[in-house]
């Protein structure tokens, strides 16, 4: 049975960001590291977007960047003032190629295509089983999401950010290549929080996604009919579908970190790294992978890695509201973005604001909803 110092169960965003940073740091070259995943990471299977002030580490692989975006609902449409921020898009294939080019230079790092079926902290080591063989390691990073952990309880609500997106090409120009559609709530809400999301690649090409923040997924036909209707409303009847993308991202404040052990750390969505109130993952994984690599240099007990903060409470309250009144999502996000610059909201959602700055954003929201949610959570965090 082969032994490694570190094993990553799953090679998703959080795992790849973490192992990449371990590699470039040069401080783990004496440690044997194994990545286990069934996916080969050879296709453009997803797109990540994030906002950032100024230049950043991933700019070299950013496919596109925008300085503004459209927000709309049934009553108004507004080009958002990003201030110092840019909205950046990274394609999955570019990220994978960038990471694996670096990993290939490190003989101590292996990537094996096997499915992890089980793992356990045995005290002195961790046992990891796959569909082919078993391994042991000193420390395991698990990014395989176990939905039953959150769905088997009722204290913390669980929603999904679920979507289907079409990469479409047109014969005539329709899209504004300088302005993505961040959230368009002008579409029928049908009792949920539903919006269109458009990433223009050119004036004739875009990724168009129908997205919901709700508990239950829809039949594929409902997402796709909504995309057809949206394009038709924009005067687009003829188009070529280049590719399709789908996703269902858990939105919950469930404390996944409580399942960490001294030698097993849950990361990514499996560890609560997804921003609960938005479903955004890239920025959180970026920051937490840095924090984790620094932690590994000085600490050993994975139960001490996570710390709860005020933003966890803010996210919890929003999810409480959307779980009970899913239709009010449009009014909440509209209130946030209708007046003033979007920059303070981005800073808030990136969890970089002071209490005073928090209040500036919170005051924009429907106060009654959040006061009632807060009262309902007293003594039940």
Report pLDDT for 364. 92
Q: Summarize the confidence of residues 282-286 as an average pLDDT.
A: 94
Report pLDDT for 379. 80
Residue carrying the six token digits 């007046």 = 339
Say whether pLDDT at 175 is over 90.
yes
pLDDT tens string 40-88: 999 999 999 999 999 999 999 999 999 999 999 999 999 999 999 999 9
DSSP run (H or E) holding 218: none
Average pLDDT, the chain: 95
DSSP run (H or E) holding 181: strand 181-184
Q: Which domains does the chain show, CATH number per domain? A: 2-68+80-153+255-304 (3.50.50.60), 158-251 (3.30.9.10), 310-377 (no CATH)
Report pLDDT for 307. 80
Q: Which of 161, 160, 164, 159 is nearest to 222 (CA)?
A: 164
Say whether pLDDT at 380 is over 90.
no
Say whether pLDDT at 14 is over 90.
yes
Report pLDDT for 284. 92
Q: How far is CA 349 from the centre of its chain?
A: 12
pLDDT band at 357 (very low <50, low <70, confident <90, very high): very high
Q: Summarize the confidence of residues 262-266 as an average pLDDT.
A: 98
Q: Summarize the confidence of residues 323-328 as an average pLDDT.
A: 96
Enter the pTM of the model.
0.94
* Separation of alpha carbons 322 and 319, rounded Å: 5
Rounded to 5°, angle at Cα 13 from 9 and 19: 65
Residue 161's contacts (CB-CB under 8 Å, 6 or more residues apart) are: 211, 212, 213, 247, 248, 249, 251, 278, 279
Burial state string for 19-48 with b = 16 or more CB within 10 A and e = fewer than 16: bbbbbeeeebeeebbbbbbeeebeebebbb
| Residue 343: half-sphere exposure toward Cβ, Cα within 13 Å | 10
Q: Summarize the confidence of residues 6-21 as an average pLDDT.
A: 97
Say whether pLDDT at 235 is over 90.
yes
| Residue 256: half-sphere exposure toward Cβ, Cα within 13 Å | 28
DSSP single-letter state for residue 180: -
pLDDT band at 258 (very low <50, low <70, confident <90, very high): very high
pLDDT tens string 288-308: 999 999 999 999 999 999 888
Report pLDDT for 306. 86
Say whether pLDDT at 310 is over 90.
yes
Q: What percent of the chain has pLDDT over 70?
A: 100
């Amino acid at each position: 049975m082969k032994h490694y110092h570190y094993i990553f169960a799953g090679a998703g965003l959080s795992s790849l960001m973490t192992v990449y940073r371990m590699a470039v740091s040069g401080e783990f070259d004496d440690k044997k590291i194994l990545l286990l995943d069934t996916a080969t990471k050879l296709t453009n299977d997803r797109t990540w977007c994030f906002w950032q002030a100024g230049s950043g580490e991933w700019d070299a692989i950013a496919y596109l960047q925008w300085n503004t975006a459209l927000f709309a609902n049934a009553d108004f449409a507004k080009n958002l003032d990003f201030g110092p921020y840019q909205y950046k898009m990274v394609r999955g294939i570019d990220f994978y190629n960038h990471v694996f080019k670096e990993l290939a230079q490190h003989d101590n790092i292996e990537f094996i295509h096997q499915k992890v079926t089980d793992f356990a902290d045995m005290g002195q080591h961790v046992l990891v089983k796959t569909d082919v063989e078993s391994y042991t390691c000193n420390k395991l990073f698990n990014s395989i999401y176990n939905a039953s952990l959150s769905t088997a309880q009722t204290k913390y609500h669980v929603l999904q950010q679920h979507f289907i997106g079409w990469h479409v090409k047109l014969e005539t120009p329709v899209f504004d290549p300088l302005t993505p559609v961040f959230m368009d709530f002008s579409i029928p809400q049908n009792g949920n929080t539903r919006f269109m999301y458009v990433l223009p690649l050119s004036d004739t090409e875009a990724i168009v996604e129908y997205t919901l923040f709700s508990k239950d997924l829809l039949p594929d036909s409902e997402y796709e009919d909504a995309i057809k209707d949206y394009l038709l409303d924009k005067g687009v009847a003829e188009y070529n579908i280049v590719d399709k993308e789908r996703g269902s991202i858990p939105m919950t404040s469930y404390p996944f970190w409580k399942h960490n052990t001294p030698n097993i750390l849950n990361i990514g969505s499996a560890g609560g790294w997804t921003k609960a109130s938005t479903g955004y993952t890239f920025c959180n994984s970026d920051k937490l992978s840095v924090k984790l690599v620094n932690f590994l240099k000085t600490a050993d007990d994975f139960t001490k890695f996570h710390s709860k903060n005020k933003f966890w409470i803010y996210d919890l309250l929003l999810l409480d509201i959307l779980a009970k009144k899913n239709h009010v999502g449009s009014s909440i996000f509209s209130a946030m973005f209708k007046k003033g610059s979007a920059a303070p909201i981005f800073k808030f959602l990136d969890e970089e604001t002071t209490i005073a700055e928090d209040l500036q954003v919170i005051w924009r929201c429907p106060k009654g909803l959040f006061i009632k949610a807060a009262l309902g959570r007293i003594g039940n965090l």
